[in-house]
Amino acid sequence: MHANYVIMGKTEISTLGEFGLIRHLTENIKPVQPSTEKGVGDDAAVMNYGNDERVLMTTDLLLEGIHFNLEYVPLKHLGYKAAVVNFSDIYAMNGTPTQITVSLGISKRFGVEDIEALYDGIRLACERYGVDLVGGDTSASMTGLTISITCLGTAKAEDIIYRNGAKEHNLVCVTGNLGTAYMGLQLLERERLVAQGNEKAQLAFEGKEYLLERQLKPEARRDIIAKLREAGIKPTAMMDISDGLSSEILHICHQSNCGCSIYEDKLPIDYQAAVLAEEMNLNIVTCALNGGEDYELLFTCDINDYEKLVPIEDVYIIGHITKPEYGAVLVGRNGEEMMLQAQGWQAF
């Protein structure tokens, strides 16, 4: 007989959630290496090897059936997205991604051509963003496809932006639009159900290509990082929006010990996403707050940067930072207030 080493009477992981679990597991870990400048708790770790530049490191794990569905996700797109979401974490620290390693768990149903298609997407992302693929690992898998990517980057010490620098009266800003990737996912899921058992089904993607692109092939916002530098703006706190705006602004409020007021009528929402949400009886504001996978930037900056900020295309001021006792608040179109909650994507 096999010994059973699973602990009985367990606490369900879902009671803590992804970030609660990370905090629980890492709260007593104290770095002993002098080169570890910043460990767990931001978009990337920061290492100091004794010169002006810091080394940034982030890692991401994607599991088939949890993070992606190969019924409608092309492998080349999946490879591209897997790489870009790691680049996004480095840009969110105001750094530049430089190298990645790629590790794969591959089940028997995949052939060489499938993995070539995946790598075509990874290589394309690396070419577009000037990143080198420098190593990795492969293993057999019993549970489908697993992708783990670690990304290294660099930044000058004085340029790095953490999540803990937001101050009262700072402006709260986002790039692009919110909830669009989530609506792309809803569209794909709807059409998957329509097509089940009906090979002749006509998929209703026409006019909604942008939604699909935002879900299947996101881009990291290095363009905004460049524009902020050109304008002489250094955000006080910053992160990328992977789990939804509500979740991310709560991270900034928690780590910066502050509150915030976010205004519903200032949230940037794409027209196609709003139309589809209405078709599907979804609240587009809820999607914008909690959808996730937009990989836009959320940042705070000094109110004195307002005049420099306004001319930057695709940056939107959606609120301001307040005292911690006020909490994180969404102000509705009629002035009503409700507390923001992290209702975004949950891994467990």
Residue 27 domain-assigned (yes or no): no
Confidence band of 348 (pLDDT split at 50, 70, 90): very low
Same-domain pairing of 58 and 176? no
CA-based end-to-end distance of the chain? 30
Residue 28 domain-assigned (yes or no): no
Residue 277 domain-assigned (yes or no): yes
What pLDDT, in 10s, does the model give residues 117-131?
999 999 999 999 999
* C-alpha dihedral (25, 82, 215, 235), degrees to nearest 10: 70
- In 3D, which of 181, 338, 163, 148 has the Cα closest to residue 250? 163
- Number of domains observed in the structure of the chain: 2
**What is the CB neighbour count within 10 angstroms for residue 205?**
12
Helices (H), 232-333: 245-256, 271-279, 284-290, 306-309
Percent of residues, the chain, with pLDDT higher than 90: 78
Same-domain pairing of 226 and 334? yes
Same-domain pairing of 141 and 263? no
Residue 38 domain-assigned (yes or no): no
270 and 210 Cβ atoms separated by less than 8 Å: yes
pLDDT for residue 218 is more than 50: yes
What pLDDT was estimated at residue 35? 83
Same-domain pairing of 183 and 297? yes
What pLDDT, in 10s, does the model give residues 283-330?
999 999 999 999 999 999 999 999 999 999 999 999 999 999 999 999
Residue 34 domain-assigned (yes or no): no
Same-domain pairing of 332 and 187? yes
Beta strands in 4-141 (DSSP E): 36-38, 45-47, 53-63, 96-106, 132-140
- In 3D, which of 52, 269, 80, 240 has the Cα closest to residue 155? 52
pLDDT for residue 265 is more than 90: yes
Same-domain pairing of 126 and 254? no
Instruction: Indicate the residue among 159, 188, 223 that finishes a domain.
Output: 159
Percent of residues, the chain, with pLDDT higher than 70: 91
What the block records as the tokens of 226 is 């460049």
Domain span at 282: 171-339
CATH (domain of 58): 3.30.1330.10
Confidence band of 38 (pLDDT split at 50, 70, 90): confident
Q: Is the pTM of this model over 0.75?
A: yes
Same-domain pairing of 128 and 71? yes
Cα–Cα distance between 104 and 150 in angstroms, integer? 12
Cα–Cα distance between 170 and 178 in angstroms, integer? 21
What pLDDT, in 10s, does the model give residues 157-178?
999 999 999 999 999 999 999 9
Cα–Cα distance between 43 and 135 in angstroms, integer? 22
113 or 50, greater pLDDT: 113
Same-domain pairing of 287 and 210? yes
What pLDDT was estimated at residue 3? 56
What pLDDT was estimated at residue 193? 82
**Average predicted confidence (pLDDT) for the chain:** 91
Residue 30 domain-assigned (yes or no): no
What amino acid is encoded at 218 in this protein?
A: P
Residue 8 domain-assigned (yes or no): no
Same-domain pairing of 199 and 106? no
Same-domain pairing of 184 and 97? no
What pLDDT was estimated at residue 268? 98
Cα–Cα distance between 138 and 125 in angstroms, integer? 20
Confidence band of 1 (pLDDT split at 50, 70, 90): very low
Confidence band of 92 (pLDDT split at 50, 70, 90): very high
CATH (domain of 236): 3.90.650.10
Instruction: Indicate the residue among 159, 183, 217 that finishes a domain.
Output: 159
Same-domain pairing of 200 and 330? yes
Cα–Cα distance between 324 and 329 in angstroms, integer? 11
Same-domain pairing of 76 and 210? no
Instruction: Indicate the residue among 159, 190, 213 that finishes a domain.
Output: 159
